[in-house]
């Protein structure tokens, strides 16, 4: 059952065509991984899906409904986002970061929000850090708070924009571990990441975006082992070499 569909999505900034007609669809419980060179439009694509950026042409549907017909607050609740640089509020504790949307957007009472926040912090392995401020947490812990915050809203889809790119190498695994658990638990995820181990093991579909276009898209094993396009082979080859 299709949850998200992009149809001929175009986006330009002044003199630059960033997305040049992107189309694809994903089902509920799919884990879509998007890879592509820096500047190819990956972040822009994610930002279009929750309307942090408006598209110029084409259409995006969430569960069959064109996203411009959805109230922005509803859309942001239904589509969560995890950012490369965490985007945590420095003056709020881990728990305070998770409760904010629960009270402000979902309208939960304070005790309900705290109970739910603590439950989700526990799920990402941070039960004992609920009272810590971001400055007291490692990068991996901060990102797990970011994931708990997104999950706690009970979204239909979570967008991940290079969630491990700002992390020291030894902290990447704990975040990928949480993402793997979510994937196995049936969370629908649209992930920009260059973690090829994650893509191989967790992705249902891998998309190679270059220069604002989908160059190739398919099961990860197909793109890794038997890509149709030379560009796919050379780009994935470079990423895989970097991981060795
Ligand atoms: N708000 C913006 N204003 C102008 N140009 C932008 C803006 N956001 C992104 N761009 C440009 O769009 C292109 C694609 O950016 P982005 O989507 O961030 O790529 P990626 O995430 O794949 O590295 C880049 O050339 C970038 O400079
Ligand atoms: Mg980006």
Closest atom of ligand 1 relative to the 41 alpha carbon: 17
Q: Is the CB of 18 under 6 A from ligand 1?
A: yes
Cβ atoms < 10 Å from Cβ of 137: 19
Structural element, H or E, at residue 64: none
Q: How far apart are CA 199 and CA 189, in angstroms?
A: 12
Q: Which ligand is nearest to the CA of 36?
A: 1
Token pair for 144 = 């797990």
Q: Is the CB of 40 under 6 A from ligand 1?
A: yes
Give CA angle at 70 (66, 73), nearest 5°.
145
Cβ atoms < 10 Å from Cβ of 125: 16
Q: If you search the block for the tokens 């401020």, which residue do you land on? A: 133
Q: Is the CB of 39 under 6 A from ligand 1?
A: yes
CA of 113 to the centre of ligand 2 (A): 31
Residue nearest to atom 9 of ligand 1 (CA): 44
Q: Is the CB of 42 under 6 A from ligand 1?
A: yes
Domain positions in the chain are 2-199
Q: What is the pTM of this model?
A: 0.97
CA distances (Å), 149 to each of 19, 100, 119, 136, 225, in order? 29, 9, 11, 17, 36
CA of 41 to the centre of ligand 1 (A): 6
Closest atom of ligand 1 relative to the 36 alpha carbon: 22
Q: Which residues of the chain have pLDDT under 50?
A: none
Does domain 2-199 bear CATH number 3.40.50.300?
Answer: yes
Q: Is the CB of 44 under 6 A from ligand 1?
A: yes
Closest atom of ligand 1 relative to the 212 alpha carbon: 14
Pocket test for ligand 1, best of 12, 13, 159, 160 (most atoms within 8 A of CB): 13
Closest atom of ligand 1 relative to the 40 alpha carbon: 22
Q: Is 14 left (phi over 0), alpha (psi -120 to 50) or beta?
A: left
Q: Which residues pair with 190 in a beta bridge?
A: 32, 159
pLDDT score for 244: 61
Sequence-separated (6 or more) residues with CB below 8 Å from residue 185: none
Q: Is the CB of 43 under 6 A from ligand 1?
A: yes
Give the three-class secondary structure for 173: helix
Token pair for 231 = 């560009």
Q: What are the φ and ψ backbone dihedral angles of 227, each rounded to 5 degrees?
A: -70, 150
Give CA angle at 98 (28, 91), nearest 5°.
145
pLDDT score for 229: 97
Write the pLDDT tens digit of every residue in 91-140.
Answer: 999 999 999 999 999 999 999 999 999 999 999 999 999 999 999 999 99
């Amino acid at each position: 059952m299709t949850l998200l569909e992009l149809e001929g999505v175009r986006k330009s900034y002044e003199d630059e065509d960033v997305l040049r007609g992107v189309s694809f669809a994903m089902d509920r419980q799919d884990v879509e991984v998007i890879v592509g060179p820096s500047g190819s439009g990956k972040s822009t694509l994610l930002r279009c899906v929750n309307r942090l950026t408006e598209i110029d042409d084409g259409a995006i549907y969430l569960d069959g409904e064109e996203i411009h017909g959805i109230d922005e607050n509803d859309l942001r609740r239904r589509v969560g986002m995890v950012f490369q640089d965490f985007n945590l509020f420095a003056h709020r504790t881990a728990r305070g970061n998770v409760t904010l949307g629960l009270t402000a957007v979902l309208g939960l009472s304070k005790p309900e929000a705290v109970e739910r926040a603590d439950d989700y912090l526990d799920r990402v392995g941070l039960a004992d850090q609920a009272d810590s401020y971001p400055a007291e947490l490692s990068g991996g812990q901060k990102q797990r708070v970011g994931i708990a915050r997104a999950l706690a809203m009970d979204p239909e889809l979570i967008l991940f924009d290079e969630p491990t790119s700002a992390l020291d190498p030894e902290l990447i695994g704990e975040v990928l571990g949480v993402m793997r658990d979510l994937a196995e638990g049936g969370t629908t995820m649209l992930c920009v990441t260059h973690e090829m181990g994650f893509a191989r093991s967790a992705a249902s579909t891998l998309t190679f975006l270059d220069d604002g276009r989908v160059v190739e898209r398919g099961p990860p094993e197909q793109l890794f082992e038997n890509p149709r396009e030379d560009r796919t082979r050379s780009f994935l080859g470079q990423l895989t070499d970097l991981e060795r």
